[in-house]
Amino acid sequence: MASGFFALFDDIATLMDDVVVMTKISTKKTAGILGDDLAVNAEKATGFVSSRELPVLWAITKGSAINKLIILPIAFLLSAFVPIGVTIALILGGIYLAFEGVEKIYHFFFHREQKEHITEADIGNVNLSEAEVLENEKKKIKSAIFTDFILSVEIVIIALGTVIGKPLLFQILVVSLVAVIATVGVYGIVALIVRMDDFGLKLVSLNSNKKSFSNLFGNLLIRTLPLIIKSLSVIGTIALLLVAGGIFIHHIDFLHHFLEVLPGILRDFIVGLLVGFLTFLVVKTLIFIKKKLFRKQGK
């Protein structure tokens, strides 16, 4: 009887060891999405009154947790009964990620001034009433939670893709752990980022001597925050294309040997960029045709 218990504990320990190893692999695979998730949420959590930044971030974090509670059971059901559905969802998600990456590049080069103007309007408009400010806050929270839902689908599907073929319990443990890490890790870092300037201001206020360490370090934190958010956006865009390219190369047969002479990271980026560009052209063409048809109907 005792030996049976020890054998059971040994099996559990082995299982958990395998789960930890696969969780690490899955987390690495989802790193690109996590980077984009971090960049997007850091951007969406800024621009509020200082006292509202953490409550807003907490609301988005709760929304993210609910998103994953919805997504995880659906993903496990697909894996158990329609395994090909996971691969299809992965490829469709890859197309979306590639499109989003190219769209960000397009907006950076062709709509940069418009984006900056909108940001200033959102942040700098001090003539809003309290009710309007709260309504604007709710809209931004909903937008952030919707974006998180799309990114969460990709995180779960990519993580699930690394454990396809494993027992269902193993899949549930690994993917659920990745989902928890994604939520706690991303929003924990975002909380640190959005409060970085406030911490800098407190350090500056500690000492009136402008050459003191607290003053210099505080000013550094304040000046660094916008640069960090911008750099996260750039890193997130590159990561989107890399992750998308990797999905296509590993899950679409005729791309397995595409540009094999190039380093893997460069090949993933090029494939992601090409698919994103083609998807972007298709979407823009469909939007153009739709506008033309509406104009004709209006006449």
* Residue 90 burial by Cβ neighbours in a 10 Å radius (0-12, 13-18, 19+): buried
| Nearest one of 144, 235, 136 to 187, comparing CA atoms | 144
Lowest mean pLDDT among 57-66, 76-85, 124-133: 124-133
Higher pLDDT, 127 or 241: 241
Q: What residues contact residue 243 under an 8 Å CB cut-off, 6+ apart?
A: 32, 33, 94, 97, 154, 158, 268, 272
pLDDT confidence of residue 20: 58
**Residue ranges per domain, the chain?**
16-194+229-298
Distance CA 97, CA 107 (A): 15
200-221 mean pLDDT: 80
Please say whether the dihedral angle defined by the alpha carbons of residues 277, 278, 283 and 289, taken in this order, is positive or negative: positive
Helices (H), the chain: 2-29, 31-44, 50-81, 83-110, 112-124, 130-161, 168-194, 196-206, 213-251, 264-298
Residue 282 has pLDDT above 90, yes or no: yes
Q: How far is CA 126 from the centre of its chain?
A: 30
Q: What confidence tens digit (pLDDT) does each residue in 101-121 have?
A: 899 899 888 866 554 443 434
pLDDT confidence of residue 66: 92
Lowest mean pLDDT among 25-39, 77-91, 156-170: 25-39
pTM of structure: 0.68
Residue 54 has pLDDT above 80, yes or no: no
pLDDT confidence of residue 27: 57
42-65 mean pLDDT: 75
DSSP label of 126: -
Averaged confidence pLDDT in the chain? 76
252-261 mean pLDDT: 81
Q: What confidence tens digit (pLDDT) does each residue in 259-277 have?
A: 878 888 899 899 999 999 9
pLDDT confidence of residue 208: 74
pLDDT confidence of residue 47: 60
Q: What confidence tens digit (pLDDT) does each residue in 171-187 have?
A: 888 888 888 888 888 88
